């Protein structure tokens, strides 16, 4: 067993994208489309139980404004709303409003120096990932990642393991040679169901969730207590974690 790759979630893990990113973009889209919907911070926390923007809109319709469900173009309409939302989200990224979380750049650099592959496994739309990476890490950042698994590339989003199975397949690696870094219970369920040991860095919306199956739970990658030393999460720690018994 050797650590060959680290698989990163995006939303909540690479960057704090939800409260002041995706949520704002959804509301901007609703406003542009003259929909009288407003997702406040608390409501958005509830809606986050559903991963995927289109799936989240549908869940909102079903549970909060069911009168819209009768439309005979429902699927296309949701797709249209989501396209507008994505345009607003990309603008926020391009304006530099969504930075990477502490320690992400350092760990990515360290992994690359140690020839450990890095990959992405996310439910968000591909352009959101590529734009976030390019805006925060530079134009060549996409080439750092051996595989980017995103959005509708698999039919079932997290907590289903499909996106992790897909990324493992593309990497050509067994689950036990990889570690996942996630921020949510849905993400943890997805990665562990694919057999991948998972580190959690908690985020505002996920702090209270159940992380019992995680290999390690941290506030972030930078200011963490490991073996009673206050030090950033290092590649060596990941390698040691990977050597321990499977999940
Ligand atoms: C992230 C998501 C995403 C974003 C919205 O979940 O659920 O849906 O909130 O992105 P995870 P899109 O971090 O577990 O992958 O609107 O592009 O779907
Ligand atoms: Mg996440």
Tell me what pLDDT residue 234 has: 87
Per-residue tokens: 229: 């030393």
Backbone region of residue 229 per phi and psi (left: phi > 0; alpha: psi in -120 to 50; beta: other values): beta
Question: Does ligand 1 have an atom closer than 6 angstroms to the CB of 53?
Answer: yes
Q: Which of 22, 44, 201 to mutate to test the pocket of ligand 1 (most atoms within 8 A of CB)?
A: 22
Tell me what pLDDT residue 222 has: 87
Give the Å distance between the CA of 15 and the centre of ligand 1: 12
171, 148 Cβ separation under 8 angstroms: no
216, 6 Cβ separation under 8 angstroms: no
Give the Å distance between the CA of 51 and the centre of ligand 1: 5
Per-residue tokens: 59: 């869940």
Ligand 1, residue 48: give the atom nearest the CA.
Answer: 7
Instruction: Indicate if the alpha-carbon torsion angle 28, 32, 34, 35 is positive or negative.
Output: negative
Question: Does ligand 1 have an atom closer than 6 angstroms to the CB of 9?
Answer: yes
Tell me what pLDDT residue 240 has: 87
Ligand 1, residue 82: give the atom nearest the CA.
Answer: 16
HSE (CB half, 13 Å, CA atoms) of 190? 30
pTM given for the model:
0.95
Tell me what pLDDT residue 57 has: 98
Q: Which of 7, 12, 53, 148 to mutate to test the pocket of ligand 1 (most atoms within 8 A of CB)?
A: 53
Helix (H) or strand (E) holding 29: helix 23-32
Residues 59, 155, 148: CA angle, nearest 5 degrees: 110
Question: Does ligand 1 have an atom closer than 6 angstroms to the CB of 157?
Answer: no
197, 239 Cβ separation under 8 angstroms: no
Give the Å distance between the CA of 240 and the centre of ligand 1: 30
State how far the Cα of 5 lies from the Cα of 149, in Å rounded to an integer: 14
DSSP 11: B
Question: Does ligand 1 have an atom closer than 6 angstroms to the CB of 187?
Answer: yes
Query: Is 9 part of the annotated catalytic residue set?
Result: yes
Digitized pLDDT (tens) for each residue of the chain, 247 residues in all: 689 999 999 999 999 999 999 999 999 999 999 999 999 999 999 999 999 999 999 999 999 999 999 999 999 999 999 999 999 999 999 999 999 999 999 999 999 999 999 999 999 999 999 999 999 999 999 999 999 999 999 999 999 999 999 999 999 999 999 999 999 999 999 999 999 999 999 999 999 999 999 999 999 998 665 544 567 888 988 988 888 766 6
Closest to 51 (Cα-Cα) out of 150, 168, 146: 150
Tell me what pLDDT residue 247 has: 61
Give the Å distance between the CA of 67 and the centre of ligand 2: 30
- Ligand (nearest to CA of 186): 1
List 9, 16, 162, 220, catalytic entry: 9
């Amino acid at each position: 067993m050797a650590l060959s790759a680290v698989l990163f979630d995006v939303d909540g893990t690479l960057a704090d994208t939800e409260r002041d990113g995706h949520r704002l973009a959804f509301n901007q889209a609703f406003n542009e489309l003259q929909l009288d919907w407003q997702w406040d911070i608390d409501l958005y926390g509830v809606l986050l139980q559903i991963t995927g923007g289109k799936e989240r809109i549908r869940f909102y319709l079903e549970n909060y404004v069911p009168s819209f469900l009768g439309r005979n173009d429902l699927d296309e309409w949701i797709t249209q709303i989501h396209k507008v939302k994505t345009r607003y989200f990309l603008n926020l990224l391009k304006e530099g409003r969504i930075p990477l979380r502490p320690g992400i750049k350092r760990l990515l650099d360290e992994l690359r120096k140690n020839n450990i592959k890095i990959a992405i496994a996310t439910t968000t739309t591909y352009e959101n990932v590529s734009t976030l990476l390019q805006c925060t890490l530079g134009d060549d950042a996409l080439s750092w990642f051996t595989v980017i698994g995103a959005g509708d590339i698999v039919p079932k989003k997290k907590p289903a393991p499909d996106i992790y199975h897909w990324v493992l397949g593309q990497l050509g690696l067994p689950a036990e040679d990889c570690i996942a870094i996630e921020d949510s219970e849905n993400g943890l369920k997805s990665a562990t169901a694919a057999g991948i040991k998972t580190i959690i860095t908690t985020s505002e919306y996920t702090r209270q969730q159940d992380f019992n199956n995680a290999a390690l739970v941290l506030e972030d990658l930078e200011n963490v207590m490991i073996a009673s030393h206050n030090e950033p999460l290092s590649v060596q720690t990941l390698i040691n974690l990977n050597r321990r018994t499977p999940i």
